[in-house]
Structure 1
């Protein structure tokens, strides 16, 4: 469904057609594919009556979480599991990943959400990063590394709670994640692939079961 937008936006585009995408109906071209910016635009211009994902005075905290998720989790996990990266760099990347998870673990403590008493964009960013970490990046880490990643009980309990929330788990397409991973990934599978951290199917099934039903005339 997104392929025509990418083809119209870049001549002879051969990369993946990934969501999210903000497109212009008139030109048929992509305006942005940067998730955090798209989320901000939607929240600020069409957020009436919905939870405030960007509450006042929380912007700097949300931006800090976005950087931690992008650099400290996503990029670090990719480098930690990359077969073409020297061992010393992989070890340093794993240290960065574990350090970031440790900071987030201490920040959560016994709180239900990350920076507020309600869901914010920081929770959206972190939850997506944790889903990717367990369903994609884990496959390229060794078992010992995955056990160290899993050794953050507050963080993974938080991920489990959000997975059972209808706004999160009911929209998680695990099969699509697996298809995209297998189609794009060129890395080697490691022993960590056998060490699942969360049972996402069970928790997302709970979210789907409590998902509000829309009555149609």
Structure 2
């Protein structure tokens, strides 16, 4: 494959001049979803993707909030010895994500580009190559690159193999978790980037985002977590955006003076950061804009009782 080092199992450096910028190419008549692989891990999986120790490997990216959602859930579900994980390089060119020296080679397949995992699964693959990607050693193919369902399966499908630190997707709260996600995902998780842009579209996104922050701040004034008495997927999904907010989209304070403007929301975010599953899956160097000052995430957080 062109562009790969002949001396190692690592990709050559990022080279947009040679390979161009990464682009998602979708034909207008292609009805398939952006995240094309979405099989589930269940005991009765039609494709045979049953939850078993050592069978699955997660390809992740430290820089990526969608990946971090899954790695946080993996930690809280107690899957450290059940599902292995490795990381792609933080930068890409037209070849997509790759394995380079900083995080080492692919420990499972020896791939140099993540693209190879997709091409091994679907010959001539022409869709989006993303992290997280869940790989199945048994069938030598991609199970899923749907970050939402990977997280749910990690939270629910391995109870016979691992004891979770906390049930992040309790059945009694699932409807409320998904209802919140239906609001927060477009306005906060996806809307935060638009909120930093100029023009009328950016202004609308900012208004919606800051209104959401205000509502969340009020909600968190009297409760420790978004839903129920413990950490759930609702908290994980929101938090990965909050931790990037002041060093990424709001690094130049184009949106507002900072997350500290919402004291309960800011204390909630620091409270979660104090948990190893959140803190240990965070590497600020991979998503902090040049020159941005990282807020004091270690400051004590005084919180309402759960």
Q: TM-score, normalised by structure 2?
A: 0.53
CA contact (8 A) 2:168 2:232 kept: yes
- SS in structure 1 at match of 2:277: coil
Change (3 A) 1:29 1:135: farther
Q: 2:163 aligns with which of 11, 25, 49?
A: 49
Q: 1:67 aligns with which of 155, 164, 182?
A: 182
User: What residue in structure 2 maps to residue 151 of structure 1?
Assistant: 261
For 1:98 and 1:32, locate their aligned partners in 2 and report how far apart those are by CA, in whole Å: 33
Larger Rg: 2
Q: Tell me if 1:22 matches 2:134.
A: yes
User: What residue in structure 2 maps to residue 127 of structure 1?
Assistant: 239
For 2:127 and 2:167, locate their aligned partners in 1 and report how far apart those are by CA, in whole Å: 37
Aligned pairs for 1:85-124 within 5 A: 87-124=199-236
Change (3 A) 1:43 1:81: same
For 1:167 and 1:35, locate their aligned partners in 2 and report how far apart those are by CA, in whole Å: 17
Q: 1:40 aligns with which of 146, 152, 163?
A: 152
Q: 2:271 aligns with which of 148, 158, 161?
A: 161
Q: 1:76 aligns with which of 172, 191, 198?
A: 191
Q: 2:295 aligns with which of 173, 182, 198?
A: 198
Change (3 A) 1:106 1:15: same
CA contact (8 A) 2:192 2:205 kept: yes
Q: 1:175 aligns with which of 279, 285, 297?
A: 285
For 1:140 and 1:29, locate their aligned partners in 2 and report how far apart those are by CA, in whole Å: 42
For 1:177 and 1:9, locate their aligned partners in 2 and report how far apart those are by CA, in whole Å: 30
Unaligned runs of 5+ in 2: 1-105, 107-112, 301-306
CA contact (8 A) 1:98 1:149 kept: no
Unaligned runs of 5+ in 1: 183-192, 207-217
CA contact (8 A) 1:105 1:154 kept: yes
CA contact (8 A) 2:130 2:145 kept: no
CA contact (8 A) 1:23 1:29 kept: yes
Q: Deviations over 1:65-102 (max 9, x none)?
A: 3233321112221112236xxx1111110001011112
- SS in structure 2 at match of 1:137: coil
Distance apart, 1:197 and its partner CA: 7.0
Q: TM-score, normalised by structure 1?
A: 0.72
CA contact (8 A) 1:80 1:91 kept: yes
Distance apart, 1:63 and its partner CA: 0.8
Greater helix fraction, Structure 1 or Structure 2: 1
